[in-house]
A and B are shown apart, each in its own frame.
Chain A
Amino acid sequence: MQAPGFQLKSEVAAGGSLRLYLSGRVTLADGAALWRQLNATERQEGGTQMDVGGIERLDGGAAALLTAFAAQRTASGASLQLVGAHGETAKLLELYDCRRTGTCEHPVPKQPGLLADIGGFTYGAIQTTKAIFQFGGDLVVGMLHAVRRPRTVHFGDLGGLIERAGADGIPIVLLINFLVGAILGLQGAIQLHRFGGDHFLANLVGLSVVRELGPLMTAILVTGRSGAAYAAELGTMTVNEEIDALRTLGQDPQRFLVFPRVLALTLCLPILTVLGDLIGCLGGLAIAVSYLEQPSVVYVQALQQAVEFGDVATGLLKSFAFAVAIGLISCQRGLASRGGASGVGRSTTSAVVVVLFTLVALDAVFTWVFSLLGW
């Protein structure tokens, strides 16, 4: 390793006082060695002087280190003075000296404790819930207004939004639902085969997929694709003041941006759910044929008997509610973004987490209500 370009020497004067001498090229490139050597010098309670008159070249980084060290020693009770500076060295040391600005102490802000964290989280969750309900109320009012005056809604984006949320999502919805149907079929087939209940596989897969897994898995996929995209898109627009610009142009962001997105999801998600239901049942069929060696016609006939229109309708009812929840929460979280790129990231994460929680909660409520109604 190259020797540093500076020399730091210490000398004890006749009276016993310590004097340090710093000379040579004192630069940030040798900053690590400088800091180490400075901290290794003896502390003297009576006060120490450091003669910096021999410095040939000093840069800003090294000046910052020297002044910080002097302030630190002085604060700890062992006063340290930098003396003998001239020319550019004196100018630099003055520029970086915290005593000039009175800012030598800069305490790090205290991190909140666990209790404060829990309180903050709870308060935030209540505020978020309140904001989402308020946003939903505003949307309903906006919808009623839109029914009376359809021209106030920005339908120009609707086609593109439907394509992005619906058509572009079909391949992944089909793939995931097929795999879910197959996994469910395989797990069920193993258990049912033990008890000679092979012919119940269609009931298990069909009802599980159509009533629960199809709508839920499809909604989760749409949350990941479209919900996150809406939150990020509207969040970026918010931090770039595009939303404010819309307001100043007399446009209501809800009618201009939110309503078309919620509408697009409401139209697409039930269709994607039906496709997901069909392909999920086909996943079960694949297992019935390959694992249980059941003729496909047997599986299809059992499926026809097991799954009724009411089962499909309950799934579709759920998917309709899921679509509104995804659109509403994602847009609200996006519009609530604050503070640049990291704010957009936080609101996107928040949108996905809140939507997923809401989907599962809604699913539980629907299932409970349907069971009470005997559907």
Chain B
Amino acid sequence: MKVLQVRDLAIGYDGEVLLDEIAFDVQRGEVFAILGGSGSGKSTLLRTLIGLQPPLQGRVHFTGIGTPARAMSPPSFGVLFQSAALFGSSTLLQNVLLPLRKWTRLSEAAAVAVAMGRLRLVGLERFAHHLPSEVSGGMRKRAGIARALALDPPILFFDEPSAGLDPITAAELDELILTLAGGLMVTIVLVTHELPSIFKVADQCIILDAAAGGIIARGNPRDLAEQSTDARVRAFFRRQPLARSM
């Protein structure tokens, strides 16, 4: 079942097109990766998907929800930002409680029980009363995931979840992503260029290229890495410099 459909999307800044003719579908329970080099427009595409930046053209459609407008209704997806974007003056628990207090009618005790459950899921229950500045970068990312999960959204968007993390913490985060997708049937759209993570968690991917102005490849990352004949795709997956014609 398709949970997200993107059709004929053009994105950019100040009327200048960065990526054009973007089209793809994301299925329920799938981990879908948006790949590409630095400056290829991955994060801009993500911002458009979650409604923070209007597209120049085309549409983003969430099944059963419509377009991602910031309306007077609970958010239909959760987002983990690259820096985790936790509120520094609030504890991890208060960060997770924030959407629960705003969008549910739970009593305080019930809301705390749900928030603690989210923190338990990401292994941070013991740090619930710590401020974001008192925990490590990996813990902040996990707390960001707990907050994104607070309202049980069917789709989660992750922007560079393992950026800046050590390999063990990054691997733990990958395991968490697999748990969310496998155990909770949450659909995950992630932006990354961490190859080990891509191969471990992603079911499908698209590769963006700013020079080409759009998608240059799509499919299962392992299949693309082994079978693609496109030099740019091969260079990406093999971490090789791209030979450029002078």
- Closest chain-B Cβ to A223's Cβ sits at a distance in Å of 24
B128 within 8 A of A: yes
- With A96-B120, A109-B129, A343-B133 as known contacts, state yes or no: A61 contacts B183, CB within 8 Å: no
Contact of A106 among B104, B128, B133 (CB under 8 A): B128
**Known contacts being A106-B128, A340-B132, A341-B88, is A32 close to B152, with CB within 8 Å?**
no
Interface majority SS on A: helix, strand, loop or mixed? Answer: helix
Give Cα A338 to B126, complex, Å. 23
Q: Which of B89, B104, B113, B117 is the one whose CB lies under 8 Å from A60?
A: B117
Cross-chain contact A342 with B105 (CB below 8 angstroms) = no
Q: Judge whether B106 is part of the interface by a CB distance below 8 angstroms.
A: yes
Q: Is the CB of B183 within 8 A of A106?
A: no
Whether B107 contacts A35 by the Cβ 8 Å rule is: yes
Scan residues 180-236 of chain B and give those whose CB is less than 8 A from a CB of chain A: 183-185
Which B residues are in CB contact (< 8 Å) with A69? Answer: 113
The reply to whether A106 and B117 form a contact with Cβ atoms under 8 Å apart is: no
Known: A92-B183, A106-B126. A35 touches B109 (CB 8 A): yes
Say yes or no: is B45 at the interface (Cβ < 8 Å to chain A): no
Instruction: Tell me if B125 and A342 are in contact (CB < 8 A).
Output: no
Report how far A77 CA is from B152 CA in the complex, Å. 31
Chain A's nearest CB lies how many Å from the CB of B125? 4
A342 to B94: give the CA distance in the assembly, Å. 15
* Contact of A31 with B117 at beta-carbon distance under 8 Å, contacts A59-B152, A95-B183 already known: no
In A1-59, which residues have CB < 8 Å from any B CB? 27-29, 31-32, 35-36, 59
When chains A and B are docked, how far (Å) is the Cα of A31 from the Cα of B113? 11
Q: Report the minimal beta-carbon distance from B239 to chain A, rounded to whole angstroms.
A: 27
Q: Give the distance in Å from the alpha carbon of A343 to the alpha carbon of B120 in the complex.
A: 28
A65 within 8 A of B: yes
Q: When each residue 93-129 of chain B gets 1 if its CB lies under 8 Å from chain A and 0 otherwise, what string results?
A: 0000000000011110110011011101101011011
Evaluate contact between A339 and B109: CB separation under 8 angstroms.
no
Does B19 reach chain A (CB closer than 8 Å)?
no
Residue of B nearest to A59 (CB): B152
User: Taking each of A28, A32, A69, A339, which has the highest tally of chain B beta carbons within 10 Å of its own beta carbon?
Assistant: A28
Cα of A106 to Cα of B115 in the assembled complex, Å? 12
Number of A-B contacts (CB under 8 A): 95
Please, which residue of chain A has its CB at the minimum distance from the CB of B117? A64
Asked if A91 meets B116 with Cβ closer than 8 Å, knowing A32-B107, A59-B152, the reply is no
Q: Does B149 contact A (CB under 8 A)?
A: yes
What is the CA–CA distance of A69 and B89 in the complex, to the nearest angstrom?
29
Q: Mark A78-116, 1 if CB is under 8 A from B, else 0.
A: 000000000010011001101001010010110000000
B-chain residues with CB within 8 Å of residue A31 when the two chains form the complex: 104-106, 110, 114
Whether A60 pairs with B152 at a CB distance below 8 angstroms is yes
A68 interfacial by beta-carbon distance below 8 Å: yes
B53 close to chain A: CB less than 8 A? no
Nearest A residue (CB) for B89 = A342
Q: How far is the CB of B101 from chain A (nearest CB, A)?
A: 12
Whether, in the assembled complex, B35 has its beta carbon less than 8 Å from a beta carbon of chain A, the answer is: no
Residues of B within 8 A of A257 (CB): none
Confirm or deny: B33 has a beta carbon within 8 angstroms of a beta carbon on chain A.
Answer: no
Let me know if B185 and A88 touch, CB within 8 A: yes
Asked if A180 CB lies within 8 Å of chain B CBs, one says no
Q: Specify which of A36, A61, A101 is in contact with B125 (CB 8 Å cutoff).
A: A101
B173 within 8 A of A: no
Contact, CB under 8 Å: A103 / B120: yes
Please name all residues of chain B whose beta carbon is closer than 8 Å to the beta carbon of A88 when the two chains form the complex. Answer: 185
**Is there an interface contact between A60 and B121, defined as CB atoms closer than 8 Å?**
yes
Selected from B105, B110, B128, B129, the residue in CB contact (under 8 A) with A65 is B110
Nearest Cβ distance between residue A1 and chain B, in whole angstroms?
A: 10
Measured between alpha carbons, how far is A72 from B110 in the docked complex, in Å?
A: 11
Q: Is the CB of A64 within 8 A of B113?
A: yes
| A-B contact list, 11 entries, CB within 8 Å | A28-B151, A28-B152, A31-B106, A32-B110, A60-B117, A60-B118, A92-B184, A95-B184, A98-B116, A103-B125, A106-B128
Taking Cβ atoms with an 8 Å cutoff, the residues of B that contact A are: 88-89, 104-107, 109-110, 113-114, 116-118, 120-121, 123, 125-126, 128-129, 131-133, 149-152, 179, 183-185
A59-B152, A340-B88 known; 9 new pairs, CB 8 Å cut-off, are A60-B149, A64-B117, A65-B113, A68-B114, A92-B184, A95-B121, A96-B117, A101-B120, A339-B133
